[in-house]
């Protein structure tokens, strides 16, 4: 099975996560164009799932703006923890050859109204209003009291000519820092982590454990150990199985990412 075939399989699994009321994700197999559109949106879901650990379909869907009058922004994410706003432009290709070889047009990148949207403009240059998802993004930005301390970053899910430098690419996207995910990077950084179960990849992994149903005296054991280097504190915590299940459901193998046997 090729990487592209595996990618399409994963995108179809993401489509199946969509509740029945999201009909655009459940087209008939014979309707090729509708199926391609559904997979194109699922491609953005894949990015949000892996990049930001959003495992709930409905949570991800609220950040996908890929519809008419989207200002060239197919998706976004507002990261309140790290004060960053991510804007996504995505081009899913419907065949393996096109996915590997076809490049995004500069005109597509120039359609990204990053400056207008980040400055609160609710219409494009023709005075046509942006769609509801983009207006929601504008509202979220407007409500951030210290927006001057925030950073913007553009993510492009597409192939771009190797002759285009990072500086040139940044100019095409409004001068904001830009991260490119070409076909190889999609396979390595988005697809492979899903297969491994290590897609939840925040800068710092913190797990809160509920011990309310456990006796505080028996929940943990703490003792000191002297080593050749220094004295260490060791704490052994007894965790309810339900809490382990909850953490594994959300973080999957990300918890074991640096364990030598993780791949097993």
Q: Which residue has the higher pLDDT, 166 or 27?
A: 27
Highest mean pLDDT among 16-30, 162-176, 206-220, 247-261: 16-30
Of the candidate ranges 151-155, 201-205, 224-228, the one whose mean pLDDT is the lowest: 201-205
Residue 214 above 90 pLDDT? Answer: no
Q: In terms of domains, do 245 and 183 share one?
A: no
Q: In terms of domains, do 253 and 123 share one?
A: no
Domain membership of residue 245 as a residue range: 205-264
pLDDT at residue 178 in the model: 93
pLDDT at residue 240 in the model: 80
In three-state form (DSSP H/G/I as H, E/B as E, the rest C), the secondary structure along the chain is: CCHHHHHHHHHHHHHHHCCCCCHHHCCCCCCHHHHHHHHHHHHHHHHHHHHHCCCCHHHHHCCECCCCCCCCCCEEEEECCCCEEEEEEECCCCCHHHHHHCECCHHHHHCCCHHHHHCCCCECCCCCECCHHHHHHHHHHHCCCCHHHCEEEEEEECECCCCCCHHHHHHHCCCCCEEEECHHHHHHHHHHHHHHCCCCCCCCCCCCCCCCCCCCCCCEEEEEEECCCCEEEEEEECCCHHHHHHHHHHHHHHHHCCCCCCCC
Residue after which a domain boundary falls, among 154, 172, 196: 196
Q: In terms of domains, do 147 and 229 share one?
A: no
**Over the stretch 5-37, which tens digit does the pLDDT of each residue have?**
999 999 999 999 999 999 999 999 899 999 999
Q: In terms of domains, do 21 and 48 share one?
A: yes
Residue 91's pLDDT band (boundaries 50, 70, 90)? very high
Considering the chain, what is the average pLDDT of its residues? 88
Q: In terms of domains, do 118 and 19 share one?
A: yes
- Total domains, the chain: 2
Residue 107 above 90 pLDDT? Answer: no
Q: In terms of domains, do 254 and 161 share one?
A: no
CATH number of the domain residue 50 falls in: 3.40.91
Residue 113's pLDDT band (boundaries 50, 70, 90)? very high
Q: Which residue has the higher pLDDT, 215 or 91?
A: 91
Q: In terms of domains, do 65 and 179 share one?
A: yes
pLDDT at residue 33 in the model: 96
Q: Which residue has the higher pLDDT, 230 or 135?
A: 135
Highest mean pLDDT among 109-113, 123-127, 233-237, 238-242: 123-127
**Over the stretch 115-150, which tens digit does the pLDDT of each residue have?**
999 999 999 999 999 999 999 999 999 999 999 999
Name the pTM for this structure. Answer: 0.80
Residue 203 above 70 pLDDT? Answer: no
Q: In terms of domains, do 163 and 237 share one?
A: no
Q: In terms of domains, do 217 and 191 share one?
A: no
């Amino acid at each position: 099975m090729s990487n592209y075939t595996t990618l399409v399989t994963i995108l179809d699994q993401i489509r199946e996560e969509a509740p029945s009321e999201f009909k655009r994700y459940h087209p008939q197999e014979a309707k090729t164009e509708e199926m391609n559109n559904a997979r194109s949106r699922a491609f953005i879901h894949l990015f949000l799932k892996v990049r930001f650990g959003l495992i709930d379909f409905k949570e991800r869907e609220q950040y996908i703006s890929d519809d008419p009058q989207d200002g060239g922004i197919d998706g976004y994410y507002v990261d309140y923890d790290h004060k960053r706003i991510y804007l996504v432009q995505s081009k899913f290709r419907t065949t393996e050859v096109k996915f590997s070889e076809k490049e995004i047009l500069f005109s597509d990148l120039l359609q990204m109204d990053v400056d207008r949207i980040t400055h609160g403009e609710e219409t494009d240059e023709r005075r046509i209003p942006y769609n509801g998802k983009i207006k929601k993004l504008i509202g979220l930005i407007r409500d951030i009291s210290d927006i001057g301390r925030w950073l913007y970053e553009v993510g492009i899910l597409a192939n771009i000519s190797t002759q285009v430098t990072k500086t040139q690419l940044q100019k095409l996207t409004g001068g904001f820092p830009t991260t490119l995910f070409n076909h190889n990077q999609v396979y390595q950084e988005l697809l492979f982590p899903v297969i491994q179960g290590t897609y939840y990849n925040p800068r710092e992994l913190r797990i809160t454990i509920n011990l309310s149903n456990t006796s505080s005296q028996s929940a943990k054991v703490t003792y000191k150990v002297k080593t050749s280097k220094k004295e260490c504190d060791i704490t052994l915590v007894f965790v309810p199985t339900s809490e382990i299940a909850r953490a594994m459901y959300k973080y999957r193998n990300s918890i074991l990412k640096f364990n030598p046997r993780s791949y097993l």
